[in-house]
Amino acid sequence: EVYNPNGKYRVISTKSMPGTRWINLLIEQDCRLEICTQKKTILSVEDIISLIGDRCDGVIGQLTEDWGETLFSALSRAGGKAFSNMAVGYNNVDVNAANKYGVAVGNTPGVLTETTAELAASLSLAAARRIVEADEFMRAGLYDGWLPHLFVGNLLKGQTVGVIGAGRIGSAYARMMVEGFKMNLIYYDLYQATRLEKFVTGMSYGQFLKANGEQPVTWKRASSMDEVLREADVEAILINCSRGPVIDEVALVEHLRANPMFRVGLDVFEDEPYMKPGLSEMKNAIVVPHIASASKWTREGMATLAALNVLGKIKGYPIWGDPNR
Ligand code: DGY
Residues 6+ apart with CB under 8 A from 136: none
Domains of the chain are: 2-109+296-315 (3.40.50.720), 113-287 (3.40.50.720)
290 as an active site residue: the answer is yes
Q: Which residues contact ligand 1 via a Cβ below 6 A?
A: 63, 87-89, 112, 293
Whole-angstrom CA distances from 215 to 126, 158, 187 are: 25, 8, 20
Label the pairing between strands 2-3 and 31-35.
antiparallel
The yes-or-no answer on residue 299 being catalytic is no
CA of 150 to the centre of ligand 1 (A): 36
Q: Global pTM? A: 0.93
Convert the pLDDT of each residue in 91-102 to its tens digit: 999 999 999 999
Asked if this assembly's ipTM is beyond 0.85, the reply is yes
Q: Edge-to-edge, what's the strand order for the sheet holding 160-164?
A: 160-164, 184-188, 219-221
In DSSP terms, 186 is beta-bridged to: 162, 220
Cα(144) to ligand 1 centroid in Å equals 42
The residue annotated as part of the active site, out of 118, 243, 255, 300, is: 243
What is the best residue among 112, 115, 296 to mutate for testing ligand 1's pocket, by most ligand atoms within 8 Å of CB? 112
pLDDT, averaged per 10 consecutive residues of the chain (325 residues), comes to: 98 98 96 96 97 98 98 98 97 97 96 97 97 97 97 93 93 92 91 80 64 74 91 85 97 96 96 97 97 98 96 82 62
pLDDT given at position 79: 97
Active site residue 272: yes
